[in-house]
């Protein structure tokens, strides 16, 4: 790998190019925030669905056994 390849960084859709103007930077920030909100909504929806699942009977039995052993 030569020096030019080491110094150059790959283009990222999350970052405006170095020669970007203020409107490019603001648009990139807007897209980033929208993307972040979408990820947050998706993770929250997934977590809520997992939290709403019932605890398996086998696991509850194990927890009760552990509680009885500590008394």
Instruction: Express each pLDDT in 2-58 by its tens digit.
Output: 454 445 455 566 666 677 788 888 889 999 999 999 999 999 999 999 999 999 999
By CB neighbour count within 10 A (0-12 exposed, 13-18 middle, 19+ buried), where does 58 fall?
Answer: exposed
pLDDT for 11 equals 55
> Is residue 19 situated within a structural domain?
no
> Is residue 16 situated within a structural domain?
no
Q: Residue 16: which of 32, 35, 3 has the closest Cα?
A: 32
pTM over the 0.75 mark: no
pLDDT for 23 equals 87
What range defines the domain where residue 64 resides? 24-71
pLDDT for 70 equals 74
> Is residue 69 situated within a structural domain?
yes
> Is residue 55 situated within a structural domain?
yes
Other Cβ atoms less than 10 A from the Cβ of 20: the count is 13
DSSP string covering 21-40, please? Answer: -HHHHHHHHHHHHHHHHHHH
> Is residue 13 situated within a structural domain?
no
Number of domains the chain contains = 1
């Amino acid at each position: 790998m030569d020096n030019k390849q080491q110094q150059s960084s790959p283009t990222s859709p999350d970052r405006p190019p170095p020669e970007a103007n203020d409107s490019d930077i603001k648009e990139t920030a807007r897209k980033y925030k929208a993307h972040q909100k979408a990820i947050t909504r998706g993770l929250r929806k997934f977590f809520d669905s997992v939290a709403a699942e019932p605890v398996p009977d086998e696991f509850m039995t194990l927890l009760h056994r552990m509680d009885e052993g500590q008394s």
